[in-house]
Structure 1
Amino acid sequence: MLKVLILEDNNLQRKTISQIVQNRIMINNTDKSYDMEIAISTDNPVDAINYVENHREEMVLAFLDIDLKNKQINGLDIAEHIRQYLRFAEIVFVTTHQELMPLTLRKKVAPLDFIDKDNNMTDQIRECVDIAYEHYQKEISGPSKSTLTYEIMNGIYKQILIEKIYSFESIKGNNRHIKLIAEDAVATIIGNLRDIEQKNEEFFRCNRNTVINLINIEQIDLNSKIIKLKNSSIYNISTRKIKDIKKILKSR
């Protein structure tokens, strides 16, 4: 289901946006209502942040007021937060400040649209709902791509496609962190190899200090007890893991 987040500090305008969105969910250009719901409608940016952080797997259409009066956090801050935490989100800015449009581009939050409150918002909001739902439908009907959510520091999380991960390595003298090696990133993340191995069936503990991604194996030499990955990394296979890797190879 596509969830809708509305952040607007004017009570009347927030109710108006909510009503237009709800009406479009129920009555649209299809023969049935959209698989959508308004999950949160608030004037408090902290509520929006908490929602995003607590619903990271959800797909969201967000209507954000850029200039929130008497608030230290504005709609642009929320947009950046959404891009950091959610794998799919459409962002629509609703504001009277047209001059802020270039700033939204510099922030690289890729908004779907920019709605001027001084104009009649109804048609534009309806159109945004339609387009967002179309994008959502394409996203869920496309090939499934598994992701891993990992913590880079206390309370800060990122996501990466499983297929892009090559391996995880222990860090000598550090029991709280491990090294993530991926197609376009090398990062120190919070965690341990034991827990990482349980995150996905493609993760395999080939030795005491390494978990590899089976998807990205290029070559295995069981005689030499060596695994070569697609990024040319080479890891030893511990003797007690030979039987396990043979079993995995036979099942594929």
Structure 2
Amino acid sequence: MSYPIVICEDNPTQLKNIKIILESYIMFHDDPLELKLAALNPNEVINYLSEKPLSHGIYFLDIDLGTNINGIDLAKKIRKMDVQANIIFTTTHDEMAPVTLKNKVGAIDFIEKDQSIEDYRDKLYDALKYAENITNKTMEKENSNFTFEIGNQIYNFDQSEIVLIETSSVPHRLTLETINGNYEFYNKISDLEKEYPFLLKLNRSCLINPNNIRNANFTTRLITFKNDSAKKFPIGKSRKLKSEIKKILQH
């Protein structure tokens, strides 16, 4: 996965400068960064995100954009479209810093343009590194959870709560068993197997969380889980199951 970068600056010269600085950083670092858009007008950013939604984007925004939409207004709109956005303001108006806090747009940095090019570059680099760092931590947390939707409700479980997921009797639906209850939702076993590496494919219609195995009988080929559920497993899965259980015991 690459981390998308978007710039919005109404001064063509300053837009070119920040673009060159960021492209230089991307070129000489192995970080998964990608400059998606360098815009002179905030509407370009809004239209771009409407057509090509981004997640965990890094946004460098000037506050005074010379239109009826300033950088703070743009940040609010971005936040609605990319809830995990990393907002970084670049401006000559240092007195605007308290205003950004008052508007609660969640900016992670505020960089003044009125400084030497070397200092300005270093500040941009520092902000970029910080944005990467917090994005990585956020994604690690997200990946440790299991999330799904039922109607207009979003459910979020820690992976330690997940026991197993199997196909339901209702077409295209899955049954989720957790430590404390069961749920049904629409998805595919194959997609969840790719998305959640902590799940082990027991057979074509069932994924299990090895960490919630209470007992595995390799004679009867029966697994009992911590929620008292039980599942038979094919003989071909015996070696993989033993390997997974040994990993758990080692930790």
Which ranges in structure 1 are unaligned for 5 or more consecutive residues?
none
Q: Which runs of 4+ in 1 moved over 6 A?
A: 137-140, 148-151, 157-164
- C-alpha distance in 1 between matches for 2:24 and 2:58: 16
The alignment's TM-score, normalised by the length of structure 2, stands at: 0.58
Tell me the secondary structure at the aligned position of residue 82 of structure 2: helix
Q: Is the 8 A contact 1:152 1:188 kept in 2?
A: no
Task: Give the conservation status (yes or no) of the 8 Å contact 1:113–1:128.
Answer: no
Query: What is aligned with 1:69?
Result: 68
Alignment map for 1:107-122 (pairs within 5 Å):
110-115=106-111, 120=114
1:204 to 2:200 alignment:
yes
- 8 A Cα contact 1:6 1:63, kept in partner: yes
Of all paired residues, the percent bearing the same amino acid is 16
Change in CA separation of 1:250 and 1:176 when aligned onto 2, cut-off 3 Å:
closer
**How many correspondences in the alignment?**
220
Query: Where do residues 23-34 of structure 1 align in structure 2 (5 Å cutoff)?
Result: 23=21, 26=24, 33-34=28-29
Contact 1:207–1:236 (Cα < 8 Å) also in 2: no
Uncovered stretches (5+) of structure 2, i.e. residues with no partner: 245-251
| Amino acid aligned to 2:102 | P
Larger radius of gyration: 2
Q: Is the 8 A contact 2:111 2:124 kept in 1?
A: no
Question: Structure 1 residues 166, 104: CA separation in 2 closer, same or farther (over 3 Å shift)?
Answer: farther
Q: 1:6 to 1:166 in 2, by over 3 A?
A: farther
Q: Which has the higher helix share?
A: 2
**How far apart, CA to CA, are the structure 1 residues paired with 2:206 and 2:229?**
8
1:104 paired residue number: 104
CA contact (8 A) 1:21 1:126 kept: no
Compare 36-45 and 17-26 and name the one that shifted more.
17-26
1:11-160 equivalent positions in 2, closer than 5 A: 12=11, 16-23=14-21, 26=24, 33-35=28-30, 36-42=33-39, 43=42, 44=44, 45-53=46-54, 60-64=57-61, 69=68, 74-84=74-84, 90-94=86-90, 98-104=98-104, 110-115=106-111, 120=114, 123=119, 126-133=122-129, 136=132, 147=143, 152=149
Cα distance change, pair 235–17 in 1 and its aligned pair in 2 (3 A)? farther
2: CA distance, partners of 1:159 / 1:65: 36
Q: In 1, distance between residues paired with 2:156 and 2:8? A: 25
